[in-house]
Chains A and B, each alone.
Chain A
Amino acid sequence: MQTQPTIDYALHLADSALILGQRNGEWCAHGPILEQDIAITNITLDLIGQSRLFYQYAAACMNESGTAEATEDTLAYLRTERSFKNLLMCELPNGDWAQTVLRQFFFSQFQLLLLEQLQHAGNEQYAAIAAKSIKETQYHVKWSSEWVIRLGDGTAESHEKMENAVNALWMYTGEFFIAADYEAVDVAALKNKWMEAVTAIFEEATLSMPENTFMQTGGKTGTHTEHLGYILSELQYLQRTYPGAEW
């Protein structure tokens, strides 16, 4: 039988993927170029797919311990603001294309390092989901880092927009590396590698690394920004309006 931390951790990973997927999904049909509309939508689909795997695992653990009749949908659609455990960065509004691709890069680069560790965290289910998700995430890192470089080193306007994006998002990166008590991967140990990867891409993008920024926290333990409530209102609307209906 799996313990509460295992369930919470699966929910944390699922929530981050779902909420970022939900945000990226807002670009679908509104992207700057048709090819990129398709690309970001691909990433959205991957993230929602990953969230489903983690929710399904969490549901299986919960049902096994007899605490509830959980499914991927009850977990995504019937939990409330304070029980969502996603990283704060995932719930921020998309902003412009610069902010969207930078967020994707920060998140995916972190997720990639995390999934690599998750393969060896002594849990077969986690290992299987991680193995499946790594390939997708490698592509997300490649796609998003190329955009960070392209915009950073593109025009004066795009460079400025990238700098604004860095300023807006950097304070949400600290939370990645502060472990919640349920985490099965030593996230603090990922920080150096993540910084190295980001530094390398920023260098190519002619962007400077921010220093000494105050870091926001709280997502992992359910203290969110004001944005999450609105995301859940939309996401959960049909399940809340028609309780018990099947779709």
Chain B
Amino acid sequence: MELYDLEKKFQEKIEKEIKIEPRDWMPDAYRKTNLRQISQHAHSEIVGMLPEGNWISRAPSLKRKAILIAKVQDEAGHGLYLYSAAETLGTSREQMIDDLHSGKAKYSSIFNYPTLTWADMGAVGWLVDGAAILNQVMLCRTSYGPYARAMVRICKEESFHQRQGFESLLVMSQGTEAQRAMCQDAINRWWWPSLMMFGPKDSESTNSDQSMKWKIKRKTNDELRQQFVDMIAEQIKLLGMTLPDPDLRWNEERKHYDFGEINWTEFWNVVKGNGPCNKQRLEARNKAHEEGAWVRAAALAYAEKKRVRTTAKVA
């Protein structure tokens, strides 16, 4: 078949909502876009373990400690599913991880912000996982089969994380004056970065159109961001806290909340590596990887010895 026909057939499948599978023909750019997006997503899960891992040793009760550990562990599991999904596109996990460590591959900028107080564990669960879910619910219907299936598994756990985060803030919001202040402060710090998670405005977003056409994405950055604002603006009422945006108000005409302008200078700064923790996060990943090198080598060597011994026995 001619390339033109292949592309036509491919786009027809997309239109008919038939999932693209690893062995199917796909345009090179479709493969690359998916690989970039899925591996970035996997890296985000893994790097995202760091800011929350930061509070495991200091969790204020045994129950909260167990919940936090289980959450961070879930994120590791998400990383695993996503690396497997990305590997179906022909790049090894090793390679992807090397790209992360060299700084070539990106991960979600949100994890370049520090977790300064315990309330950040609640705020991250509620806002960061909350923002991630909207994106991920959409991705459950993405056109690449392995990615869509990984997302279905992940979404269930993410919504659990969001509820747990909210519940933890709710308890604090009903607590002492100091707890309420800690809670409000965490919301103040995480609100704008959470809005940035949806990426640049549609008018500035470069690969958005093609991704929509291929049904990798089904909603634009601005649509998802609006959905998030509408959701959180309602939920915060239950906490008796406020969002740090004087322009936030219900717009009866649009049936949506209006909100203020994101600080895009800050957004691009963090993307470019100048966030408060960019350096620290990459260093932590690199350190774990380098210090684990001898462990992985030993595991391989032992597996090989065992294989040789078993074949010798069989022979």
Q: Does B116 count as interface, using CB distance less than 8 angstroms?
A: no
Contacts A239-B60, A247-B64 given; indicate if A45 touches B292 (C-beta within 8 A): no
Which residues of the other chain, B, contact A52 by a CB distance below 8 angstroms?
62-63, 66
Q: Does A153 count as interface, using CB distance less than 8 angstroms?
A: yes
Q: Is the Cβ of B53 less than 8 Å from the Cβ of A28? A: yes
Q: Is the Cβ of A237 less than 8 Å from the Cβ of B53? A: no
Compute how far the CA of A101 lies from the CA of B281 in the bound complex, rounded to whole angstroms.
26
Interface centre among A28, A36, A48 (most CB of B within 10 A): A28
Which residues of the other chain, B, contact A77 by a CB distance below 8 angstroms?
60-61
Q: Is the Cβ of A37 less than 8 Å from the Cβ of B60? A: no
Q: Does A5 count as interface, using CB distance less than 8 angstroms?
A: no
Q: Does A219 count as interface, using CB distance less than 8 angstroms?
A: no
Q: Is the Cβ of A25 less than 8 Å from the Cβ of B57? A: yes
Q: Is the Cβ of A234 less than 8 Å from the Cβ of B62? A: no
Q: Is the Cβ of A247 less than 8 Å from the Cβ of B172? A: yes
Which stretch (A121-129, A155-163, A168-176, A195-203) binds chain B? A155-163
B79-102 interface bits toward A, Cβ cutoff 8 Å, 1 = contact, 0 = none: 110010000000000000000000
Q: Which range contains the number of B residues in contact with the other chain?
A: 35 or more
Q: Is the Cβ of B69 less than 8 Å from the Cβ of A28? A: yes
Q: Is the Cβ of B66 less than 8 Å from the Cβ of A49? A: yes
Q: Does A76 count as interface, using CB distance less than 8 angstroms?
A: yes
Secondary structure call for the A interface = helix
Which stretch (B129-137, B174-182, B196-204, B210-218) binds chain A? B174-182
Q: Is the Cβ of A158 less than 8 Å from the Cβ of B176? A: no
Within B37-69, which residues are at the interface with A (CB < 8 Å)?
46, 49-50, 52-53, 56-66, 69
Q: Does B145 count as interface, using CB distance less than 8 angstroms?
A: no
Contacts A235-B57, A246-B175, A247-B172 given; indicate if A151 touches B295 (C-beta within 8 A): yes
A51 to chain B: closest residue by CB: B62
Q: Is the Cβ of A155 less than 8 Å from the Cβ of B301? A: yes
Q: Which range contains the number of A residues in contact with the other chain?
A: 35 or more
Shortest beta-carbon distance from B157 to chain A in Å:
13
Q: Is the Cβ of A73 less than 8 Å from the Cβ of B62? A: yes
Compute how far the CA of A239 lies from the CA of B168 in the bound complex, rounded to whole angstroms.
16
Q: Is the Cβ of A42 less than 8 Å from the Cβ of B58? A: no
Measuring CB to CB, which residues of chain A are less than 8 angstroms from any residue of chain B? 18, 22, 25-26, 28-38, 41-42, 44-45, 48-49, 51-52, 55, 72-73, 76-77, 96-97, 149-151, 153-155, 157-158, 161, 234-235, 237-239, 242, 244-247
Measuring CB to CB, which residues of chain B are less than 8 angstroms from any residue of chain A? 46, 49-50, 52-53, 56-66, 69-70, 72-73, 76-77, 79-80, 83, 118, 168, 171-172, 175-176, 178-179, 284, 287-288, 291-299, 301-302, 305
